[in-house]
Chains A and B, each alone.
Chain A
Amino acid sequence: MCGIVGLFLKDKSLEPQLGSMLSQMLISLSDRGPDSAGIAIYGAPSRNEAKITIQSAKPERDFRGLDAELAKAIGAPVSIAVKSTHAVLRTAPDKVDAAREALQSIRPDARIMGAGEAVEIYKEVGLPEAVVDRFDVRSMTGTHGIGHTRMATESAVTTMGAHPFSTGADQCLVHNGSLSNHNNVRRELVREGMKFETENDTEVAAAYLSSQMAHGKNLGEALEGTLSDLDGFFTFVVGTKNGFGVVRDPIACKPAVMAETDQYVAFGSEYRALTKLPGIDNARVWEPEPATVYFWEH
């Protein structure tokens, strides 16, 4: 099954509540996937600094003193904010690549969840409520976000196998379904130079979109490409720095429902996820058409 949610705010006054709204949406879909859960939240982007979300199974060992060591390694200031097994590092935008490289040598066991000007990603094995509590997601503010609760069908039940998958700056994707040609697509992307952390089919979809956008396509065009290049069942919900998109495969077995008001656009695998959103009773609610791309940008 798997459950996915997404929320794209149009009304700035709701931004302080983004974390709590998204948390509630995700928790309502817990029984669609008990294996792991994750959330990506886009805060207001800053021109002066970029964020790198990292994860470690041994946070006390890996995060202590990391800011100073990393700052020394890249020759620029680094700050760290630790939340349980995750930490968000902040540094100058032009130092992100150097920081990624340095992390590999000074903290080889830490994993990079995602990076960008706006996005922070938190994901772990366990039910949505536990994940939300652990990272205090309810208190987070932001402009848009996506979430996933996983029933594992492809690859292992591990932190890295949880969604969202992020394969490009400020890009991330959650997926309900299963892809049948992911090995082929992965091989082609590897040939292009993309790197993969898992055997998961969803990571391939995320990398596919990153590759398309790296070739100059916008999010809408990249999503359009999934319809011809990816084979299998999918409902994808994706986030970019300022955008939010949805696409379903042409068969569209995987459930999806959307709602739009003047204040937000929301996505849920089921209507249950939307029932507590403000003004939902008067929202335009619809089932996204198969093989049709929907996307919004700020």
Chain B
Amino acid sequence: MPATKLSKAAQDQASRVFDLDVSSLRELNQALHNLTPGSNETAWEVLHPKGSHSVAVGVDQPVSIDVRGSVGYYCAGMNDGAAITVHGSAGPGVGENMMSGSIVIKGDASQYAGATGKGGLLVIEGNASSRCGISMKGIDIVVHGNIGHMSAFMAQSGNLVVLGDAGDALGDSIYEARLFVRGKVESLGADCIAKEMRPEHIELLQGLLDRAGVTGVKPSEFKRYGSARTLYNFNIDNADAY
């Protein structure tokens, strides 16, 4: 980044709002990566993202970031502690490999939202596309609308909550993640089955709905899906299911 003659205070002030019509994406992400524990720069705003890729990836401090507009690929990837809100829609791979913190998408999300996420909360207020939560490893995902086909494919841990419908092959080859769907499920993937909603699941789901700001929806309206656990170890009798 070129040296500037701005005072330190002026730089701090200026760095909280990043207009991507003026600054580069690299400058934004570098400034976010420069944050250190205890920084006073806790509220960030990103203007004119124009579908850019990799907006606010790799943030590892507990700051809030408001992105005003729609983003492209991999927004908020690897997020570790930040509260990131996209006031628009998100392209493929939003919140991929999130560790902790939260991401809220006010619009829709494209394919593989929250893929491989290990922690934190991803809320999609619109619809998500195919492979939502693929290979999720501990992340919680709440989708207000519908999700596409092959969602939660090979999901290992965490919770996927869908207020709308799910597409084909939900939870294909799922391990231990819990899937809660309020609407209809087009079809279940290999080794994914409907399961009983026990009191602990009602409680868990209520907590997730609360954290995601969902009101007026009861946990009892959802069905739970999870692993039949027949594909954990290879058994020749199950070969057709792979």
Query: Do A287 and B72 touch across chains, with their CB atoms under 8 A apart?
Result: no
Contact of B110 among A273, A287, A289 (CB under 8 A): A287
Query: Do A286 and B108 touch across chains, with their CB atoms under 8 A apart?
Result: yes
Within A242-298, the residues touching B (CB, 8 Å) are 252-253, 255, 257, 270-275, 285-287, 289-290
Within A224-248, the residues touching B (CB, 8 Å) are none
Binding site for A on B (CB under 8 A): 50-52, 70, 72-73, 89, 91-92, 108, 110-111, 129-130, 148-149
Cα distance A273–B148 in the bound complex, in angstroms = 23
List residues of chain A with CB within 8 A of the CB of B52: 272
Given contacts A272-B50, A274-B51, contact A255 B130 (CB under 8 A): no
Question: Whole-angstrom distance from the CB of B86 to the nearest CB of chain A?
Answer: 12
Query: Do A287 and B51 touch across chains, with their CB atoms under 8 A apart?
Result: no
Cα distance A272–B20 in the bound complex, in angstroms = 13
Query: Do A255 and B110 touch across chains, with their CB atoms under 8 A apart?
Result: yes
Query: Do A285 and B89 touch across chains, with their CB atoms under 8 A apart?
Result: yes
Question: Whole-angstrom distance from the CB of A132 to the nearest CB of chain B?
Answer: 19
Given contacts A275-B50, A275-B51, A287-B108, contact A270 B91 (CB under 8 A): yes
List residues of chain A with CB within 8 A of the CB of B50: 272, 275
Question: Whole-angstrom distance from the CB of A95 to the nearest CB of chain B?
Answer: 46
Kindly report which residue of chain B lies nearest to residue A271, judged by CB atoms. B51
How many A residues touch the partner, as a band?
Answer: 10 to 19
Query: Do A290 and B72 touch across chains, with their CB atoms under 8 A apart?
Result: no
List residues of chain A with CB within 8 A of the CB of B51: 270-275
Kindly report which residue of chain A lies nearest to residue B150, judged by CB atoms. A251
7 contacts between A and B (CB under 8 A): A270-B72, A272-B51, A272-B72, A275-B51, A285-B108, A287-B108, A287-B110
The main secondary structure of chain B at its interface with chain A is loop
Cα distance A97–B52 in the bound complex, in angstroms = 46
Cα distance A40–B86 in the bound complex, in angstroms = 35
Question: Whole-angstrom distance from the CB of B139 to the nearest CB of chain A?
Answer: 21
Question: Whole-angstrom distance from the CB of A139 to the nearest CB of chain B?
Answer: 25
Query: Do B89 and A271 touch across chains, with their CB atoms under 8 A apart?
Result: yes
Kindly report which residue of chain A lies nearest to residue B129, judged by CB atoms. A287
Cα distance A290–B149 in the bound complex, in angstroms = 9
Q: Which 7 residue pairs of A and B lie closest in terms of their CB atoms, listed nearest first?
A: A272-B51, A271-B51, A275-B50, A287-B129, A271-B70, A275-B51, A270-B72
Kindly report which residue of chain A lies nearest to residue B109, judged by CB atoms. A287
Question: Whole-angstrom distance from the CB of A254 to the nearest CB of chain B?
Answer: 10
List residues of chain A with CB within 8 A of the CB of B130: 252, 290
Question: Whole-angstrom distance from the CB of A258 to the nearest CB of chain B?
Answer: 12
List residues of chain B with CB within 8 A of the CB of A289: 148
For A255, A271, A272, A285, which residue has the most chain B Cβ atoms within 10 angstroms? Answer: A271
List residues of chain B with CB within 8 A of the CB of A272: 50-52, 72
Cα distance A257–B51 in the bound complex, in angstroms = 11
List residues of chain A with CB within 8 A of the CB of B92: 255
List residues of chain A with CB within 8 A of the CB of B129: 287
List residues of chain B with CB within 8 A of the CB of A286: 108
Query: Do B91 and A271 touch across chains, with their CB atoms under 8 A apart?
Result: yes
Cα distance A271–B129 in the bound complex, in angstroms = 15
Cα distance A251–B110 in the bound complex, in angstroms = 14
Question: Whole-angstrom distance from the CB of B206 to the nearest CB of chain A?
Answer: 31
Cα distance A287–B91 in the bound complex, in angstroms = 10
Kindly report which residue of chain B lies nearest to residue A256, judged by CB atoms. B110
List residues of chain A with CB within 8 A of the CB of B70: 271, 275, 285
Question: Whole-angstrom distance from the CB of B93 to the nearest CB of chain A?
Answer: 10
For B51, B52, B110, which residue has the most chain A Cβ atoms within 10 angstroms? Answer: B51
Kindly report which residue of chain A lies nearest to residue B52, judged by CB atoms. A272
List residues of chain B with CB within 8 A of the CB of A252: 111, 130, 149
Cα distance A273–B149 in the bound complex, in angstroms = 25
Cα distance A41–B89 in the bound complex, in angstroms = 30
Cα distance A287–B161 in the bound complex, in angstroms = 21
List residues of chain B with CB within 8 A of the CB of A253: 111
Query: Do A271 and B108 touch across chains, with their CB atoms under 8 A apart?
Result: no
Cα distance A13–B154 in the bound complex, in angstroms = 50
List residues of chain A with CB within 8 A of the CB of B110: 255, 257, 287
